[in-house]
Chain A
Amino acid sequence: MIGSLLLNLLAILQALLLPVQASRYLSALLLVLSIYFAGGSVGSLVGDAYTAIGMIAIAVPAVVTLLFHKNPQRHFVLLTTLVTVAGYFVVASRNLATLAMSLEAMSLAAAAVAFYPATKEKVRTLTTYLIFSVFAAVLLFSGLAFYFAGTNGFSLVEFTQTPTAIVGLSLILASIMIKIAVTPMHAWAVDVYSLSSTSAALYLSNAVKAAAFLALGILASGPLKAAFSVGYWQVLVPVLALAAISVGVGAGGMALSDRAKRLLAFSSIAHAGFALLAIASPGPAAAAILAYYALAYSIANTIAFSSVLLIKGEEDVSIRGLSALYKRPLTALAFAIAMISLLGVPPTAGFNAKLFALFSLLASAQIPYAFVLAVALAAVVFTAATGYGYAKAIAAVARPPEEEAEVGNLSLEFLLWILAAMLLFLYFFPTLPTPTNLM
């Protein structure tokens, strides 16, 4: 882990000092390299397979944004590097204090990324993001205070059974639910993802969300599991109900939207809800499923946002406008694979991710079975409803474009093909790492 930390520091330093044309490539390189050197541990930052999967899920959108954003400003490279490093810390942290600090660092830097490029229109996205992240932060820290008062420390494993600790845990859970945009706190995601520039939206909707999924996994395999084992399953009843509703809200929004970025924003809300179902039987298995889900989601969503980047650059594109990909059959195929992975149809990683999350939900022993079944049914039905939105997008790329549009960036397209192949590969060889060394 120490090598990884040094590379991260180097990445931040060179983004501060070097000219942007060099630093964007160097930053991407250093961030990817630091995954390779992430073994071992430094204090409560631990590098294991779980950390590595999380880092890959964060690095994929980071690399795409850093390499393929046209004429980035220097700040963008710096802020993206900072969010990525903070995300790495989130997935590597194994106690609550470090987790809280890294989550804060990540969401503050992400707020600044939402303001990119600094123009009048982006003030709105910044305001929305910042106010919601402030709300999440106060819940996180007051939850931490109650958790500390209840359990005598900020350890993830030494859990004392008191109602105070449960209150704290619920508040921390609520804070992470705001960060991944679960209903009723989803409004910010629609605003931020659809109004900010494509590169920023690509990055925020994948990296930040993936890191928050993995943070949820760490919580699930630590205190949440302990709380469950002493019979406090009631905590999760409202969480699961909100998760199912959130899939419904996502499906509804997708059916109604006709802009690509808005469609993907609602899709991200539906996914946040579905991933949350995995914590119904908390433990290392749930954490593993969340990590796999985060990876599958991050890759597929990166392909989807990159297609917008490919067609319109930083602008939004209508769903009909996606037909510009028609001339590039392989890229259109990659886009279609990403869409069916997001929907959850075999043979893509998205299918496995959703299946595992459902298994985890149905395996819950303590929550009343009727409730579990109702939530599962609602989630599956709403997911089927999201199919309409994804089908719109796939139908668009299968149609010849009405007006000529020049699409061509071979290196980005090549990367998208590889990512799409990874989605297929992950279906046949799913990887399910569990967080170790909780302290």
Chain B
Amino acid sequence: MIEVFILLMGAATMFAAAVLWDPDIVRAAASLVMVFLLTGFALLAIGAWFVGAMQVLLGAGAVAVLALYAAITTKKRKEVLRAPHAGKIAALALGILGISIGFLTLNTPGVLTVYSSDTGAIADVLFRDIGLTVALSLLLLVALIASAYIIRYVFLREVRA
């Protein structure tokens, strides 16, 4: 199924390019939904259906929709894309980085045979190590409190005004 995987990833890369170079921010955010959907389907194609489903549900369903919401509420929908002068250098450096990483990882051992996610094994990894679970829950708590603290300023301004 590697062929289907590669095909879907190619399509996802096209949509990713659209995310960066489409001047309309709402269309860009909509392209992100496609990126998540296509990468999710690519994962489903090789049998990693647990993380593939998560990619579709959490990625396309939650994260990308949050981005879409932010894009819709923006007051400047059309954007003049201005990369800083260092943009070209960054593109060159990242291109070289990508190609060299590609060559280094070319022979990573591993065969994509008929794998299928095993929920029992996944639950075992996730909950056997309580330390990991505790750290994850702290991360979620931090996310809640930190974003509430940042957004609170919007209301503070209104109250002060």
Direct contact between A and B judged by beta carbons closer than 8 A: yes
Instruction: Give residues in A with beta carbon < 8 Å to B.
Output: 5, 12, 41-45, 75, 78-79, 82, 85-86, 89, 92-95, 97-98, 101-102, 104-105, 108-109, 111-112, 115, 118, 126, 146, 149-150, 162-164, 166-167
- Shortest Cβ gap from A328 to chain B (Å): 36
Q: For A12, what are the chain B residues with a Cβ–Cβ distance below 8 Å?
A: 141
In the complex, what distance in Å separates the CA atom of A94 from the CA atom of B129?
Answer: 11
Q: For B149, what are the chain A residues with a Cβ–Cβ distance below 8 Å?
A: 75, 79, 112, 115, 118
Quick one: given A93-B131, A162-B108, are A104 and B141 in contact (CB under 8 Å)?
Answer: no
In the complex, what distance in Å separates the CA atom of A5 from the CA atom of B138?
Answer: 11
Cross-chain contact B104 with A167 (CB below 8 angstroms)? yes
Complex interface residues of chain B between 101 and 130 (CB less than 8 A to chain A): 101, 104-105, 107-110, 128-130
Q: For A94, what are the chain B residues with a Cβ–Cβ distance below 8 Å?
A: 131
In the complex, what distance in Å separates the CA atom of A56 from the CA atom of B61?
Answer: 42
Q: Using an 8 Å CB-CB cutoff, how does the interface string of B137-156 with A read, 1 for contact, 0 for none?
A: 01101110110011011001
Quick one: given A108-B139, A118-B152, A126-B150, are A89 and B145 in contact (CB under 8 Å)?
Answer: no
Inter-chain contact total with CB atoms closer than 8 Å = 102
Instruction: Give the size of the chain B interface in residues (CB under 8 angstroms).
Output: 28
Cross-chain contact B136 with A108 (CB below 8 angstroms)? no
- Shortest Cβ gap from B93 to chain A (Å): 11
Closest 9 CB pairs of A and B: A43-B131, A45-B131, A44-B131, A112-B146, A101-B135, A43-B130, A43-B129, A105-B139, A163-B104
Smallest CB-CB separation from B147: which chain A residue? A112
Cross-chain contact B105 with A89 (CB below 8 angstroms)? no
Cross-chain contact A109 with B146 (CB below 8 angstroms)? yes
Quick one: given A162-B109, A164-B104, are A82 and B145 in contact (CB under 8 Å)?
Answer: yes
Quick one: given A82-B141, A108-B146, A162-B109, are A118 and B129 in contact (CB under 8 Å)?
Answer: no
Cross-chain contact B139 with A164 (CB below 8 angstroms)? no
Which label, helix, strand, loop or mixed, suits the secondary structure of the B interface? Answer: helix
Question: Contact partner of B156 among A111, A118, A162, CB < 8 A?
Answer: A118
Cross-chain contact A111 with B146 (CB below 8 angstroms)? yes
| Residue B92 at the chain A interface, CB threshold 8 Å | no
Cross-chain contact A105 with B129 (CB below 8 angstroms)? no
Cross-chain contact A149 with B105 (CB below 8 angstroms)? yes
Question: Contact partner of A105 among B105, B128, B133, B138, CB < 8 A?
Answer: B138
Q: For A44, what are the chain B residues with a Cβ–Cβ distance below 8 Å?
A: 129, 131-132
| Residue B134 at the chain A interface, CB threshold 8 Å | yes
In the complex, what distance in Å separates the CA atom of A70 from the CA atom of B136?
Answer: 33
In the complex, what distance in Å separates the CA atom of A92 from the CA atom of B138?
Answer: 14
Cross-chain contact B105 with A112 (CB below 8 angstroms)? no
Quick one: given A98-B131, A102-B138, are A115 and B104 in contact (CB under 8 Å)?
Answer: no
Cross-chain contact A89 with B152 (CB below 8 angstroms)? no
Besides the contacts A102-B138, A108-B143, what 15 more A-B pairs have beta carbons closer than 8 Å?
A: A12-B141, A42-B131, A45-B134, A45-B135, A79-B149, A82-B138, A82-B141, A82-B142, A98-B129, A98-B131, A101-B136, A105-B142, A109-B146, A118-B149, A149-B108
In the complex, what distance in Å separates the CA atom of A227 from the CA atom of B141?
Answer: 35
- Shortest Cβ gap from A44 to chain B (Å): 4
Q: Using an 8 Å CB-CB cutoff, how does the interface string of B53-95 with A read, 1 for contact, 0 for none?
A: 0000000000000000000000000000000000000000000
- Contacts A/B (CB < 8 Å), 25 sampled: A5-B134, A12-B141, A41-B131, A42-B130, A43-B131, A45-B130, A45-B131, A45-B134, A75-B152, A79-B146, A86-B142, A94-B131, A95-B131, A97-B129, A101-B132, A102-B139, A105-B135, A105-B138, A108-B139, A108-B143, A108-B146, A112-B145, A149-B110, A150-B108, A166-B104
